[in-house]
Structure 1
Amino acid sequence: MTTKPTSWARGAALRGLVALPLVAGLVTAGWLLADRTPEPAPAPAPLPAAAGAASGPSVLEVSAPVKAQEPGQGASGAGGKSPLQQWADQLAGPLDIPATALIGYANGELTLRGEDPSCHLSWVTLAGVGSAASNHGRGGENLLGLSAAQAKKYGATPDSPSVAAGRALCAGGTDLGAGAGWWKAIAAYHPGSESELFRQRVLGMAQLYATLSLDPSRAGTPSVQAARFALGQLGLPYVWGGNGPDAGAAGFDCSGLTKASYDSAGVALPRTADSQFRAIPQVPPSQEPRLGDLVFYGSPATRIHHVGLYLGNGLMINAPTEGQAIQIHTYHSKGDDYAGAGRPA
């Protein structure tokens, strides 16, 4: 099964990207060829991939963010702070979410647990929506991007936009614990020309928040800083040899993105996918990659032709190929030429 490309545009806050196709297909099998254009290299052109080798995966399979740390509940302790406030204070810094917004997202989950337990709404989904819609309300924006019609229908108040957003996401008997339901709910919540980009941004940030909530001590590490940078580039175009807007290009190619991501965290990488593969410690094949690892495609014996940055839960951020935008894909699909993962830091 192949996926149907769609088109969408990156807004002004994302540096004015023109419309580009996004491979947004939700599939249970199948893949598309990706990144067949050779990377730029300071040396003569690298060897081609082995005959008959497939390219890296270029689909996003059905996915929903993984389980996150539970919000605190119960009565206030001797110090006067409720478990929920303590929970928010613990995670606000590592997640870079204001504690008041974080409490709101948690209250949205806790309220919907009672109203609609079969929906399985998680606070990280609301936090992903809040990040994509308004950067968590910083600057006075509409926290969760609720339309006037949504706000009226689902009973939004200044003190409970997360509850209304949760009701909107759970409408119609949706199960947000399943990938297909989650993906459709986010699309229905934010329809329009930028719906695909919005969904990718929500998924990426929700996954990041879920991972960090379980291990907040990692928040300041280079791998997390690199992942945040890469997520910030979602929607920019693939540009052969591109090193990004700061270097005068509209976007990135695959290894340009991974290099810039780690440059932002103070870790220098070589420029091409093949040289990155050979320069960093490899993750044992028996271990799943972790957040910030680089995932590679090609033949270790001849040439690595593609690289992405692992996000967790089977997902990577990558610049796929000409005509596509930087986006989240499933990192390993049956029949691809996945060559393994490396850990820059």
Structure 2
Amino acid sequence: MYQAPRRRRSPWPFALFGIFGVVVLLAVGISLTVPQEPRIAIPDGVPPARGTEVPPIDFAGPGRTAGLLGEWAQPQADALDIPVVALEAYGHAAAVLAATRPECGLAWTTLAGIGSVESRHGRHGGATLAPDGTATPEIRGVPLDGSPGLAEIRDTDGGRLDGDSLLDRAMGPMQFIPETWERWGVDANGDGVADPDNIDDAALSAGRYLCDRGGDLNSAEGWTRALMAYNRSGEYMTLVRDRAAAYGVGVRP
């Protein structure tokens, strides 16, 4: 039987492997000796941190006054993974309520936590926010038919708002049901229409509801009461708290 001559193995692979090993050991050694930047600690108490202070604006002016917060929102939008338009809406709602309901103490971070959980800040299902704050396509929840984990809510608006004439569905970036929107919905972007699919309108409406239900949101009791009224789930409240707390210290959840 023919045998091919045995080839002499080159020493290069071993030499290269040895060099690679030295490099890895050096890298590990450096990482152990060079101080690492500490991770930002995210508090786990309630209420969550308030985040960067919202500057005063003239929200009584014409048009979409949330846009006046552009210089405040833009520098932090990417770091928080919140669209600028959505961040403007949360800050705007907090500013309006600070002037009209100062005893409430609602921070924009709480609204951002809710918006993140409910719709990824108006991006659920591939939706996008227009410059006026309107989410397209419309964001609609599943029919509230009493299935596991869902309340059963028969139609309350004839399908006029949510497009369902049999059962109610949650609507828009902040996921209002029609009956609640009919009572709390307000126009916040200056177009004269209270639209649950507009994040300016939805954020301010959510803020009004939270203030009414919670009272003093600077207190742990008031904040907890407000969130439980928004969604009667301890797991939901914790998730909102965690995301709001991350925004409060300037990082994405």
TM-score interval, smaller chain: 0.5 to 0.7
The structure whose residues are more often strand, as a share, is 1
Task: Note if contact 1:73-1:83 (Cα within 8 Å) is conserved in structure 2.
Answer: no
Q: Which residue of structure 1 lines up, in the alignment, with residue 85 of structure 2? A: 100
2:179 pairs with 138, 149, 164, which one? 149
Output one character per residue of 1:256-295: Cα deviation in whole Å (capped at 9) or x when no partner: xxxxxxxxxxxxxxxxxxxxxxxxxxxxxxxxxxxxxxxx
CA distance in 2, matches of 1:113, 1:163: 11
Output one character per residue of 1:75-127: Cα deviation in whole Å (capped at 9) or x when no partner: 7xxxxx96511111111101000011111111111111122110001100000
Task: Note if contact 1:118-1:175 (Cα within 8 Å) is conserved in structure 2.
Answer: yes
Distance 1:172 1:188, change over 3 A: closer
CA distance in 2, matches of 1:82, 1:165: 19
CA distance in 2, matches of 1:116, 1:144: 20
Q: Which residue of structure 1 lines up, in the alignment, with residue 47 of structure 2? A: 64
Q: Which residue of structure 2 lines up, in the alignment, with residue 162 of structure 1? A: 203
Q: Percent same amino acid among aligned pairs?
A: 32
What residue identity is the alignment partner of 1:126?
L
Task: Note if contact 2:214-2:224 (Cα within 8 Å) is conserved in structure 1.
Answer: no
Distance 1:98 1:175, change over 3 A: same
Output one character per residue of 1:214-250: Cα deviation in whole Å (capped at 9) or x when no partner: xxxxx5xxxx7xxx4xxxxxxxxxxxxxxxxxxxxxx
CA distance in 1, matches of 2:208, 2:76: 25
1:120 pairs with 101, 105, 108, which one? 105
Task: Note if contact 2:113-2:240 (Cα within 8 Å) is conserved in structure 1.
Answer: yes
CA distance in 2, matches of 1:104, 1:133: 15
What residue identity is the alignment partner of 2:107?
S
Matches within 5 A, 1:250-269: none
Matches within 5 A, 1:246-285: none
CA distance in 1, matches of 2:47, 2:181: 25
CA distance in 2, matches of 1:136, 1:96: 9
Distance 1:161 1:82, change over 3 A: closer
Distance 1:127 1:172, change over 3 A: closer
**Quick check: which has more Rg, 1 or 2?**
2
| Consecutive unaligned residues in structure 1, runs of 5 or more | 1-60, 76-80, 213-218, 229-345
| Consecutive unaligned residues in structure 2, runs of 5 or more | 1-43, 59-65, 128-138, 140-171, 187-193
Task: Note if contact 1:62-1:180 (Cα within 8 Å) is conserved in structure 2.
Answer: no
Matches within 5 A, 1:122-137: 122-137=107-122
Q: Which residue of structure 2 lines up, in the alignment, with residue 279 of structure 1? A: none
Q: Which residue of structure 2 lines up, in the alignment, with residue 203 of structure 1? A: 241
Distance 1:92 1:62, change over 3 A: closer
CA distance in 2, matches of 1:155, 1:207: 26
2:56 pairs with 60, 73, 80, which one? 73
CA distance in 2, matches of 1:86, 1:167: 25
Alignment length (residue pairs):
148
Distance 1:172 1:96, change over 3 A: closer
What residue identity is the alignment partner of 1:71?
V
RMSD: 2.4
CA distance in 2, matches of 1:202, 1:174: 18
The structure whose residues are more often helix, as a share, is 2
CA distance in 2, matches of 1:92, 1:100: 9
Q: Which residue of structure 2 lines up, in the alignment, with residue 47 of structure 1? A: none
